[in-house]
Amino acid sequence: MSQLDLALEADVSTRHLSFVESGRSAASREMLLRLAAPLSLPPRERDRLLLAGGYAPLHGERAIDEPDMAAAKSVVEAVLRGHAPFPALAVDRHWNLVLANEAATALLADVAAELLEPPVNVLRASLHPKGLARHIVNLAEWRHHVLARLRHDADRSLDPALDVLHAELKALPAPNGQSATGVAGCIAVPLTLRHPASGSVLSFISTTTVFGTATDVTLSELTLECFYPADEATRLALTS
């Protein structure tokens, strides 16, 4: 967004905006919030903007297990339970596991113990040779999909922790003899894996849900990943 567009959207003069940007004028708290709105800054970034201006943050950040987050946690748990018998989980902005339903927990049962030490990073557990990677039938496709999505998240958020995670996962062994060329142009990349316990081949597609109107930083950055059967055999395997 250009300076002129931002000034028009925030209903301030370009001269005053220029003075604020150059440090010749100090922005009020109200001004910073007016600038944040047209930029569509998420709660965490709005708080950083306010702190940089010398003001208290607008949004709270609390762990999901804190007592005053009980109502929010119960809503998330209800969504995850309601998705049963199909896997569903909630992750934070760094893809660390926050909550999971029984079906998702069952898929992680064969993951090495060191990968299940809190905080459990679900992308690491997915691609690590000691994690789900050894059970994923289309590992090349899934690896390509995960790395591309993570790269997009890192570029959009400018979060250095996601850059570090992307570099770590990219350095993990890639599957031999598999091609990821079928990923380009796909509406959804399936996760196809051999169930660690039953040996059944299960294929899932996933959807992502976020709380777009959340005012708490923790809740606004929570992502629900809900997996659906990609074929009838998977549906029957999990419902029969």
Tell whether 40 and 88 lie within a shared domain.
Answer: no
**131 falls within a domain:** yes
pLDDT in tens, 127-186: 999 999 999 999 999 999 999 999 999 998 888 999 999 999 999 998 876 666 555 445
Q: Which two tokens stand for residue 116?
A: 């299940």
pLDDT at 104: 95
Q: Determine the average pLDDT of the residues in 1-9.
A: 72
Number of domains the chain is built from:
2
> For residue 39, what pLDDT band results from cuts at 50, 70 and 90?
confident
Tell whether 212 and 109 lie within a shared domain.
Answer: yes
Q: Determine the average pLDDT of the residues in 8-33.
A: 77
Tell whether 44 and 76 lie within a shared domain.
Answer: no
Q: At residue 33, what is the residue type?
A: L
Residues 6 and 35: beta-carbon distance below 8 Å: yes
The CATH number linked to 180 is 3.30.450.180
Cα–Cα distance between 160 and 202 in angstroms, integer?
34
Q: Which two tokens stand for residue 49?
A: 């903007």
Range of the domain at 8: 3-52
Q: Which two tokens stand for residue 32?
A: 């910073």
Any idea which residue has 């029984």 for tokens?
102
Tell whether 88 and 192 lie within a shared domain.
Answer: yes
pLDDT in tens, 84-107: 999 999 999 899 999 999 999 999
pLDDT in tens, 186-222: 567 899 999 877 888 999 999 998 876 555 667 778 8
pTM of the model: 0.75
Tell whether 48 and 71 lie within a shared domain.
Answer: no
**188 falls within a domain:** yes
**Average pLDDT of the residues of the chain:** 85
